[in-house]
Structure 1
Amino acid sequence: MSMIFFACVVRVRDGLPLSASTDFHFNQDFLECRKRLKALSSILAQYPSRGTVKGRDLSIHFLSSGDIACMAICSSTYSTVMAFCFLEELQWEFAASYDMTSIGLASRPYAFLEFDNIIQKVKCRFNGANRFQMKDNWEKMEEELKFQPPVQLKLEDMELMNGMANGGHAGVHVEVVPTYRMQRVTPLGILSLVLNIMCGALNLIRGVHLAEYSFQCYLYLFYSSARKMKTFVLLFSVCLCNIYLYGLRNLWQIAFHIGVASLSSYQILTRQLMEKQPDCGV
């Protein structure tokens, strides 16, 4: 039966699945085809915008534009033109529903799972349509495929990508590393080397002189500051001594004047007492 079995939208740069139709097919051929589709989605950036993987019963078609790609698993008898018409319409619907910023920021698989409803509607419409019902889209896509045919891949290539060949291990591609020989130095190269060495030596000498000058300036400032500090301490000490000595001299003078005043008062008081005593004559 010619029909579309599965469709999904992935991000091209890393193959992250953004949305996919619900699976109702569990036969072994379909599951193997899904594995190949997953392997292909991770390397879509290596291929052109359109491609087809032909198989005996099932085929994979993909259409990429910008950072998103639409992929579908169809029966091998399903029309290639109709398959790309389906992928193109699916791509328009997704681009109209989500902006590139949200697509670029998506970090988990199936971040736009709600788009599954639109995938199912478009898939049902194309499964029930024929060439004459979509005449305009058919003719346009047919011309595009003639002008730019899709790249044709083989299922064997997908098996190697998925690691299913050679007992579950992909073949190792061995490439001989080319040997390189060093070329002789030209006279111009020697001259350039000598000039670079001379410039480096001159810069080194200038750096040493600059360091020496800076050190001398630092020592001068240090000793100059030390002399100024010593002078300040000396003058401050002299001032303290003057204040101390002046205070002691004033104290001595005050004590002397107090002593003299006390002695004078005592003499006056004694004289007054002697004058008031009566005479004791016989």
Structure 2
Amino acid sequence: MSMILFACVVRVRDGLPLSASTDFHLDQDFLECRKRLKALSSVLLRYPDRGTVKERDLSIHFNSSGEIACMGICASSYPAVMAFCFLEELQWEFAGAYDAASVGLASRPYAFLEFDNIIQKVKSRFNYTNCASMKLNLEKIQEDLRLHPPAQVKLEEAELMNGMVNGHAELHLESGPEASAYRMQPVSTVGILSLVLNIMCGALNLIRGVHLAEYSFQEDHKEIGNVIAFLLPFVACFLLCYLYLFYSSARRIKVFVLFVTICLCNVYLYGLRNIWQILFHIAVASLSSFQILTRQVAEKQPDCGV
């Protein structure tokens, strides 16, 4: 019987899964344990380098080193020293195959899925063989665990349960560097058109604004309001492009503010622009806003045991 049921390698700073063993266990306890492991992986920075979560029949072990952490689900009867020896060997194998730069630049889940072959080999060796060569490493790990016992993590702790709803890991979408871990749905043809039109409108606003500013500063400052009315939509157009391409929190509010800014500025410019030019700019802003609000975060495909 397999004692090590599942293993994966994750990036410590954000819990991004880099590789995982392909396992097809349909036991409900195992599936629930997988969900808990996924939730735990996103908060590893809060814990020491080694830790254990004890369930009734299964245990989760993790071992962090630098940028990566190796995590495993084992039968509760499986000795902790063997589990941590297994995880440490996985770390050595992964560190030998991929450098820190590759890990840091990984932007999609399971970017190193081919490492699954190594995980399976090491897992098989620890599950089904009694290799004498492990003895020295086991003694080293055992002494290390005696001096530095792994943290006993309780899943009821507030910082972990805050990220779970009914046993499922909740997806927290934030702007900033960590938001890049979440992929948006593919860009549509209409979306690309909206980007091109937005860039064009932004460029027109910038050119008119700069020319007007040169005249205003040379002659008088009466046109300063018109200059601002050209430059604000320029900024708004490029912010709409950003919101379409990348996820950001409070998208609806940001899109509304940018859309209203473009509309008000174009109405203010009536006289310098005719009605058809104004309607064109507002129509482009409307199209872009609609594309942003309808482009959602891509749903993750089922793990299929990975």
TM-score scaled by length of structure 1: 0.56
Shift of 1:168: 10
Q: Work out whether residues 11 and 69 of structure 2, in 8 Å CA contact, stay in contact via their aligned partners in 1.
A: yes
1:162 partnered with 2:152: no
CA distance in 2, matches of 1:140, 1:168: 35
Which secondary structure does the structure 2 equivalent of 1:127 belong to? Answer: helix
- Provide closer, same or farther for how the CA distance between residues 130 and 79 of structure 1 changes in structure 2, counting only shifts above 3 A: farther
Decide which moves more: 123-132 or 73-82.
Answer: 123-132
TM-score scaled by length of structure 2: 0.52
Aligned to 2:55: 55
- Provide closer, same or farther for how the CA distance between residues 20 and 168 of structure 1 changes in structure 2, counting only shifts above 3 A: closer
Q: Work out whether residues 18 and 113 of structure 1, in 8 Å CA contact, stay in contact via their aligned partners in 2.
A: yes
Letter in 2 for 1:39: A
Q: Work out whether residues 2 and 76 of structure 1, in 8 Å CA contact, stay in contact via their aligned partners in 2.
A: no
Which secondary structure does the structure 1 equivalent of 2:156 belong to? Answer: helix
Q: Which is higher, the Rg of structure 1 or of structure 2?
A: 1
Q: Work out whether residues 39 and 164 of structure 2, in 8 Å CA contact, stay in contact via their aligned partners in 1.
A: yes
1:113-124 superposed matches below 5 A: 113-124=113-124
Aligned to 1:94: 94
Q: Work out whether residues 55 and 154 of structure 1, in 8 Å CA contact, stay in contact via their aligned partners in 2.
A: no
Deviations 1:83-125 (A, max 9, x none): 0000000000000000000100000000000000000000000
Which secondary structure does the structure 2 equivalent of 1:141 belong to? Answer: helix
Any gaps of 5 or more consecutive residues in structure 2? 171-306
1:43 partnered with 2:43: yes
Aligned to 1:8: 8
1:11-30 superposed matches below 5 A: 11-30=11-30
1:181-260 superposed matches below 5 A: none
Q: Work out whether residues 9 and 71 of structure 1, in 8 Å CA contact, stay in contact via their aligned partners in 2.
A: yes
CA distance in 2, matches of 1:108, 1:168: 18
Shift of 1:19: 0.2
Deviations 1:111-168 (A, max 9, x none): 0000000000000000013486621111100000011110001243455542227x99
Which secondary structure does the structure 2 equivalent of 1:156 belong to? Answer: coil
Aligned to 2:233: none
CA distance in 2, matches of 1:144, 1:131: 21
Which secondary structure does the structure 1 equivalent of 2:153 belong to? Answer: strand
Number of residues of Structure 1 aligned to a counterpart in Structure 2: 168
Which secondary structure does the structure 2 equivalent of 1:102 belong to? Answer: helix
Any gaps of 5 or more consecutive residues in structure 1? 170-282
Shift of 1:26: 1.2
CA distance in 1, matches of 2:78, 2:2: 5
Aligned to 1:127: 127
Q: Work out whether residues 50 and 151 of structure 1, in 8 Å CA contact, stay in contact via their aligned partners in 2.
A: yes
- Provide closer, same or farther for how the CA distance between residues 120 and 168 of structure 1 changes in structure 2, counting only shifts above 3 A: closer
CA distance in 1, matches of 2:28, 2:13: 29
Q: Work out whether residues 59 and 73 of structure 1, in 8 Å CA contact, stay in contact via their aligned partners in 2.
A: yes
Deviations 1:59-95 (A, max 9, x none): 0000000010000000000010000000000000000
Which secondary structure does the structure 2 equivalent of 1:154 belong to? Answer: coil
Which secondary structure does the structure 2 equivalent of 1:103 belong to? Answer: helix
The alignment yields a C-alpha RMSD, in angstroms, of: 2.1
Q: Work out whether residues 131 and 138 of structure 1, in 8 Å CA contact, stay in contact via their aligned partners in 2.
A: no
Letter in 2 for 1:71: M
Q: Identity of paired residues, percent? A: 71
CA distance in 2, matches of 1:168, 1:52: 19
Q: Work out whether residues 9 and 71 of structure 2, in 8 Å CA contact, stay in contact via their aligned partners in 1.
A: yes
Aligned to 1:72: 72
CA distance in 1, matches of 2:32, 2:89: 26
